[in-house]
Amino acid sequence: MVRSIMMMIGYVRESSDEARMILLNRHNDQEANNLSHTCLQASSGPYVLTGLVRGQSMHRIPPSHVVGGTGGTGGPNPLPEPKCHYGNCHPTDPKKLNVHLVPHTHNDVGWLKTLDQYYWGSKQGVQNAGVQYILDSVVQALDGEPDRRFIYVETAFFWKWWTHQTDTVKDTVKRLVNNGQLELISGGWSMNDEANSHYSAIIDQMTWGFKRLRDILGEPCGVPRIGWQIDPFGHSREQASLLAQMGFDGMFFSRLDYEDRDKRVRDRTLEMVWRGSDDIPGERSDLFTGAMYLGYVIRD
């Protein structure tokens, strides 16, 4: 049996009208309406919660183009009309405090163990982790439960897991992605470091991850819209600029200096629009950005 622990953490959410308008300007009217009224809810309440799972042992295109990429059966099994990304946000009530739950997992592509050791769950004495079991259990938990959601980040692990699945499981995953229950975010091969990585290497690893996701999941639902940099030790303006130029709608990060975090909590500025470059005209380098209030792990 694979055991999972769901842990909830929170961060203060306070978006300015200016931040919302810059973000909304990137979408057509219908998408902007969905985004404004179902996802940001900047004025409806100050708190957002995020979940963490640890396992132990838009642009519109015809739905016929999203049958499944090249990874699963690839046969004549059309998927339902896509309703992923913002179009599948749960409805909110402006008269109430709306709590947005984001169940997720964080899987290092190499840290205390190698990628294969993390994936297969070997060397548990070094660290208790087995990524394949996380993905197995997530798919099982989402299937048949349309109100459940989960996000996944590291394409290196997702791709490795995908290559070991049956066509039946692959079709299930495509359906979960297509209906917005399972969302791939960031989309790079890994959650890259922002200090030591050269910009060309960041672009290369993001491009490789995007290609894999696009090949197996198709558009629009297999195309990430949000960056998720929760564990790099520090954050660079260039990373924000690159993600903005790649077409991302926003980015969330966790690690920042404790004094900076405390000040942002007091000033209610944990969320902002990050201008990634002074040399790129207009809003092409602007990125809606949120710093997590308590990091990405539970606090006692």
Is 193's pLDDT higher than 90? yes
Q: What is the DSSP secondary-structure string of 96-151?
A: S------EE----SSSSS-HHHHHHT--TTT----HHHHHHHHHHHHTT-TT--EE
Q: Where do the domains of the chain lie?
A: 4-291
How do 4-12 and 47-55 pair as beta strands? Answer: antiparallel
CA distance 165 to 71: 10
Q: What percent of the chain has pLDDT over 70?
A: 72
Q: Which CATH architecture has domain 4-291?
A: Alpha-Beta Barrel (3.20)
What CA–CA distance (Å, rounded) separates 298 from 158?
25
CA nearest to 200, candidates 182, 275, 208 = 208
Rounded average pLDDT over 42-60: 31
pLDDT in the model for residue 86: 79
Q: For the segment 5-21, what is each residue's pLDDT rounded down to a tens digit?
A: 333 333 223 333 333 33
DSSP string, 178-237: HTTSEEE-S-SSS---SSSS-HHHHHHHHHHHHHHHHHHH-TTTTS--EEEE-SSSS--H
Q: Which residue has the higher pLDDT, 113 or 37?
A: 113
**pLDDT per residue over 208-250, tens digit each?**
999 999 999 999 999 999 999 999 998 999 999 999 999 999 9
Query: pLDDT category, 298, cuts 50, 70, 90?
Result: low
Which of 23-27, 82-86, 155-159 shows the highest mean pLDDT? 155-159
Q: Which residues are catalytic?
A: 231
Tell me how crowded residue 71 is: count the other CB atoms within 10 A of its CB. 22
Q: Which DSSP string do the residues of 55-84 spell out, in sequence order?
A: E-------GGGGS-TTTS--SS-PPPPP--
pLDDT value, residue 99: 82
pLDDT confidence tier of residue 117, bands split at 50, 70 and 90 = very high
Q: Answer with the residue of higher pLDDT: 125 or 74.
A: 125
pLDDT at 77: 52
The answer to whether 222 and 216 are in contact (CB under 8 A) is yes
Altogether, the residues listed in the chain come to a count of 300
- Mean pLDDT over the full length of the chain: 77
Check if the beta carbon of residue 245 is closer than 8 Å to that of residue 280. yes
Kindly report, residue by residue over 141-150, the tens digit of the pLDDT.
Answer: 999 999 999 9
